[in-house]
Amino acid sequence: MSNIVDPLVGRIANRVHAERERRGWTLAQLAEASGVSRAMINRIERGESSPTAVVLGKLSAAFQLSIASLLALAEDGDGTAGPGPDGAAGASRCTGTAEWQDPATGYRRRQITGPDFPAEVAEIRLPAGARVPYPAAAFAFVRQVVWVLDGRLTFHDGERCHDLGPGDSIELGEPAERVFANTTGAECRYAVILARGARP
């Protein structure tokens, strides 16, 4: 569709296609592994559809990658700077950093660290009333901490439910189906800190 103007849509399309090709998978094989329809994957790879957070969670689970890695927000010079030529740390300006928005819920994700940093840090803004579920496989092969900065987050970790407020954090254990929900009338802002594992 020509009316999609988000510059990240094209990069997400390229990344999904590249990860599928790297594994030698057909569209049908990725559809079977992820639970996302072949038609939807085809539209995503062609840049004709902006995937939702739920769809990205399913695709990342199939690839055994974190969602942040799949989005690869920092890879094309979107404002997250890596080390300079002398090894010194680069600086990142908030105004120049790419932000991805879920077309279904309005959930917004901004990658803080660059692709060469040994941990992934992302800032999430979850609108009032939004609910974003992820399959257990999206949390495999990673260690992750969720830290609430503003507002309240209702976090479902398998069968357990946690009500988290500003300053609260939770370290995630074994992979489980998880839901990030905002049941309040105000935005919730939280950080996700993820230790990268070896790529499959």
Domains of the chain, first to last: 7-71 (1.10.260.40), 96-195 (2.60.120.10)
Cα distance from N-terminal residue to C-terminal residue, the chain: 32
Per-residue confidence at 197, pLDDT binned at 50, 70, 90? low
How far apart are the C-alpha atoms of 16 and 158, rounded to whole Å? 27
Tokens standing for residue 73:
């927000």
What is the per-residue pLDDT for 5?
Answer: 46
How far apart are the C-alpha atoms of 151 and 166, rounded to whole Å? 6
Residue 199 reports pLDDT greater than 90? no
pLDDT average, residue stretch 72-96 = 45
What is the per-residue pLDDT for 19?
Answer: 92
> Per-residue pLDDT tens for 21-65?
999 999 999 999 999 999 999 999 998 988 898 898 899 889 988
Question: Which helix (H) or strand (E) covers residue 144, if one does?
Answer: strand 143-150
Q: Compute the Cα dihedral for 128, 102, 55, 68 and give only its sign.
A: negative
- Residue 79, phi then psi, degrees to nearest 5: 110, -15
The pTM of this model reads: 0.77
Pick the residue with more confidence: 67 or 15? 15
For residues 167, 193, 136, 56, the Cα torsion angle rounded to the nearest 10 degrees is 110
What is the per-residue pLDDT for 96?
Answer: 43
Tokens standing for residue 153:
């987050």
> Per-residue pLDDT tens for 123-150?
999 999 999 999 888 887 778 999 999 9
Tokens standing for residue 116:
């060469």
Which region, left, alpha or beta, applies to residue 12 given φ > 0 means left and ψ of -120 to 50 means alpha? alpha
> Per-residue pLDDT tens for 149-180?
999 999 999 999 999 999 999 999 998 999 99
Q: What are the Cα distances from residue 181, in Å, to 65, 117, 158? A: 22, 29, 13
For residues 161, 146, 36, 9, the Cα torsion angle rounded to the nearest 10 degrees is 140
How far apart are the C-alpha atoms of 152 and 162, rounded to whole Å? 10
Residue 89 reports pLDDT greater than 70? no
CB-CB contact of 115 with 83 (8 Å): no
